[in-house]
């Protein structure tokens, strides 16, 4: 409906959603809670955050190289 407006979905964007949003014309996606998880809380896991970040990047890369 808005082909000339670059859109960036935010809020509730999960790993499984990345490719669909990009295929639908989004120029990027923004993920907060699904990406950060518990990493910023006391006892949170930074290695898990790094893994999730790598997975989000890989999902976007699969779309851009497809």
- pLDDT values of the chain reduced to their tens digit, one per residue, 66 residues: 677 889 999 999 999 999 999 998 899 999 999 999 888 888 888 999 999 999 999 999 998 765
Q: How many CA atoms lie within 13 A of 1 on its CB side?
A: 0
Query: Total structural domains in the chain?
Result: 1
Per the domain annotation, does 24 fall within a domain? yes
Per the domain annotation, does 43 fall within a domain? yes
Query: Quick one: pLDDT at residue 51?
Result: 95
Per the domain annotation, does 61 fall within a domain? yes
Distance, in Å, from the CA atom of 32 to the CA atom of 49, rounded to the nearest integer, reads: 11
Per the domain annotation, does 2 fall within a domain? no
Query: Quick one: pLDDT at residue 66?
Result: 55
Per the domain annotation, does 5 fall within a domain? no
Q: Is the pTM of this model over 0.85?
A: no
Interior/surface letters 37-63, b for 16+ CB within 10 angstroms, e for the rest: eeeeeeeeeeeebeebeeebeebbeee
Q: Are 7 and 26 in contact (CB under 8 A)?
A: yes
Query: Whole domain around residue 53: which residue ranges?
Result: 15-65
Q: Which residues contact 65 (CB under 8 A, 6 or more apart)?
A: none
């Amino acid at each position: 409906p808005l082909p000339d407006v670059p859109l960036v979905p935010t809020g509730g964007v999960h790993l499984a959603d990345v490719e669909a949003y990009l295929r639908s014309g989004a120029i990027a996606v923004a993920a907060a809670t699904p990406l950060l998880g518990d990493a910023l809380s006391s006892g949170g896991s930074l290695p898990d955050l790094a893994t999730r970040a790598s997975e989000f990047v890989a999902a976007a890369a699969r779309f851009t190289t497809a």
